[in-house]
A = this chain, B = another copy of it.
Amino acid sequence: MELVEIGTVESPLTDRASAPKQGDEGAPEAWLEFDPRFAEALDGLEVGDDLLVLTWLDRAVRDVLRVHPRGDLANPERGVFGTRSPDRPNPIGLHRVHVLAIDGTRFRVRDLEALDGTPIVDVKPVLGAIDER
């Protein structure tokens, strides 16, 4: 189960301490820079789309099983699978973003809290109602 990097995040965010906990909590605009060898897989994506971006949170700690949610000691400790902590056995980030612009294999997005240089591993559409699929 080895992941390939399909692209990287280009963002003004460079450290965990200053990044918002979630993309809709004040994340700056960012670029998704896709590797051109995956250009065909982007075919059909458009400005205005809402997408799910999966990343590999490469600065996370993988042997943590319990955390204080949102890093707040006032929150009782609980298992990481009940939280969105980046620290978890497989640090896959899941981000819902909105596409603002597309320039070849570069996508400008809002609502992405991933740090600069974070590898991107997948992109999926947000699913609508059953009759719209």
Contact = CB atoms under 8 A, between A and B. Distances in A.
Interface in A2-23: 2-6, 21-22
Contacts of A119: 1
A52 B1 contact: no
Contact of A5 (B1, B54, B81, B88): B1
B88 A122 contact: yes
A81 B38 CA distance: 9
B122 A70 contact: no
B79 A122 contact: no
Given A42-B79, A54-B92, A81-B122, 7 more contacts: A1-B3, A1-B119, A6-B90, A45-B79, A83-B124, A83-B125, A90-B122
